[in-house]
Amino acid sequence: MRAFVLVPLLKSAEQQARREGFSTRSPESRLEEAVGLAAAISLNVVGSAVVPLAKPRPATLLGEGKVDELKGQLAELRVELVVVDGPLGPGQQRNLERAWKVKVLDRTGLILEIFGERARTREGTLQVELAHLNYQKSRLV
């Protein structure tokens, strides 16, 4: 499956963490890790981007202009799945899927997919399935 990895970078959160002396990972290392996680479930990553955000938008996380810009890029690359390295609310995920006409997965969803693929025992499979159902429960319309 052709995938695109997106790392939203909140400028204010990064600046605050630096002021308070917290270690912040570079956007490049976050992107590299997210691409590695996507590859762990055999996704063919055909593109990636770090998107700086002044503040997250409630409806789509990204601004309208960036959503439109990425829509063209995703269509050109024939992307089937977008992985967002961070949390997305159910409404944000749904709105991005409608705008881009592709499946959108946030970091939690991606990690659950990895666990699901790697679970070997019956108990492990059931635990992952339960976690996945709890995650999906809030995303039902």
Task: Give the model's pLDDT for residue 139.
Answer: 81
Domain 2-106 homologous superfamily, CATH? GTPase HflX, N-terminal domain (3.40.50.11060)
Task: Give the model's pLDDT for residue 38.
Answer: 96
> Has residue 56 got a pLDDT over 60?
yes
The runs of H, that is alpha helices, within the chain are 11-19, 27-40, 64-76, 90-100, 107-118, 122-137
Distance CA 59, CA 92 (A): 5
Distance CA 39, CA 111 (A): 12
Per the model's pLDDT, the better-predicted residue between 99 and 15 turns out to be 99
Task: Give the model's pLDDT for residue 74.
Answer: 97
User: In whole angstroms, what separates CA 4 from the centre of its chain?
Assistant: 9
- Give the pLDDT band (50/70/90) at residue 114: very high
Longest CA–CA separation in the chain, Å: 47
- Average confidence (pLDDT) over 52-72: 94
- Average confidence (pLDDT) over 24-31: 86
> Has residue 124 got a pLDDT over 80?
yes
Using CA atoms, how far residue 12 sits from 58, 74, 134, in Å, is: 16, 27, 31
Task: Give the model's pLDDT for residue 33.
Answer: 95
Task: Give the model's pLDDT for residue 109.
Answer: 94
Task: Give the model's pLDDT for residue 12.
Answer: 75
Task: Give the model's pLDDT for residue 34.
Answer: 95
Mean pLDDT, rounded, of the chain: 91
Task: Give the model's pLDDT for residue 26.
Answer: 85
Task: Give the model's pLDDT for residue 19.
Answer: 52
